[in-house]
Amino acid sequence: MSSYYKGYGYRDVKPSFPKLDNPIQIDWSLFYTLLLKQSPSSTPHQERFVQWLKEYLCKQPGVEVSQDKYGNLYAIKGEAELYPCVIAHTDINQDYTKELRIQKTDKFIYGMDNETGQQCGVGFDDKNGCLFALMMLERMDTIKVAFFKDEEIGAVGSKQADAAFFYDCSMIFQMDRNSYKGLELITQTNGVKVCSKEFVDAAEPLMTKYHVTEGTGSFTDVGEIVKLAGVDCIGCNIGAGYFDEHSEQEITSIQALENSINFGYECLTTLGKTKWKHKALSVSYEGCGGYGYGTTTTGTTSTAGYHDRYIDEYDLNFQSWNSSFDKPKEANITVPSYQYRHLLEYDGLTDHEIAECLEGGYCPCCFSKELELDVNGSEMVSCYDCGSYFFVPEDYFDGTNQDSGILYD
């Protein structure tokens, strides 16, 4: 399937998700409720959402609910020797919009600030994932679900998760992936291989049916869960149908989200009775030292008000940031020896580690070599595979330091 985006900017979206005969339709009432309960990281808004979610789970018949010291939620439905598991995170990487309204067309859903009349972000990352988890909990007889706080500021919640909850899980699914390249089954994230080739082979017929391809991600909760001691099953992150996440131009393709929900459901129900044993293996490449977002723990990291300090596309008023998702040229770039700063300041990555990876020709987040240097207004190195982007210091582009070996976009 061709990339969903062509050119740059959300106005250039060209639909490319096939309309399938899906048995499961989106629960719009639940989805609207989740979106309107905005929950920026490390704020009272998130605490209120978690409390609402806890009460919602407790009302579901046959569901046992627990909560750990950090506030993460765990739910078990039914009795079984093995449980398929779905996880999601409760925070969003947008500020609270007082007069948020949800707009829906025949193809897309997005947010609008009723006070300004401007489009605004609503947190499809990860309210789409929360919707998937709750819909699976409702439809399946035996399942485990878990909701982790503060993923957007370094997976703080999942790094403190109760590992024992996952000991009898057959697989761990998460829906927390953008869909720039169509729907993907992410098998490598957080610097580790989270899924086995055996599972991918078994899921291949379903991947073909739903037009899903295997891909590499950067960072999310499932990459931390599979690294916990005693967790010995595969993990996957699947496409959620959203685009321009973490920005005010954020949108979700309705067809993509519906297709992904149905793909996830079939994986859980047809493959979830088998224990897909797997030990997360670190992925490293010569020249980059195996660094990756999430490879260190947050420990006592302060998270107060962090969501307001994000440097993102909207704050910097980028005009061409989405050009980073065009297909890169064949050759890899050569980058100068400077200290690079990641746009989102990923926890666990120092400037030195970022520079070391980029100078070796690798993305620090997913270790892909599909890098491109864009100097048309954004002056950044971008990764085609995982969508990460890194700023080159401004003084490099003063007309005297440019290296002829760099590929300019």
In whole numbers, what is the pLDDT of the chain averaged over residues?
A: 77
Domain hosting 353: range is: 306-397
Strand-pair partners of 110:
103, 251
DSSP-derived letter for residue 327 is P
Whether residue 170 sits in one domain with residue 58: yes
Residues 351 and 393 in one domain: yes
Mean predicted confidence (pLDDT) in 161-188: 94
pLDDT value for 33: 95
Beta-carbon contacts of 49 under 8 Å, excluding residues fewer than 6 positions away, are 37, 38, 39, 90
pLDDT in tens, 204-229: 999 999 999 999 998 999 999 999 99
**Residue 289: inside a domain, yes or no?**
no
Confidence of residue 300 (pLDDT cuts 50, 70, 90): very low
Structure confidence by residue, pLDDT tens digits, 136-169: 999 999 999 999 999 999 999 999 999 999 999 9
Q: Count of domains in the chain? A: 2
| Higher per-residue confidence, 112 vs 218 | 112
| 310, part of any domain | yes
Domain boundary among 282, 315, 342: 282
Is 341 in the same domain as 274?
no
Q: Are residues 85 and 221 in the same domain?
A: yes
If asked whether residues 188 and 248 sit together in one domain, one would say yes
The 3-state DSSP class for residue 48 equals helix
Whole-prediction pTM: 0.70
Residues 253 and 342 in one domain: no
3-class SS of residue 54: helix
Largest CA distance in the chain: 68
CA distances from 215 to 33, 200, 206, 221, 281 (A): 31, 11, 15, 16, 16
- Is residue 163 included in any domain, yes or no? yes
Indicate which CATH number applies to the domain containing 156.
3.40.630.10
Shared-domain flag, residues 100 and 139:
yes
**375 and 327: one domain?**
yes
Q: Are 273 and 335 within one domain?
A: no
pLDDT greater at residue 169 or residue 352:
169
Residues 220 and 368 in one domain: no
Query: Within a domain: residue 30?
Result: yes
Residue 239: how many other CB atoms lie within 10 Å: 31
Task: Kindly provide the residue ranges of all beta strands, DSSP E only, lying in 44-160, ordered along the sequence.
Answer: 63-67, 73-77, 83-89, 100-104, 108-113, 118-120, 143-148
Asked if residue 23 is part of any domain, the answer here is yes
Domain stops at, among 240, 267, 282: 282
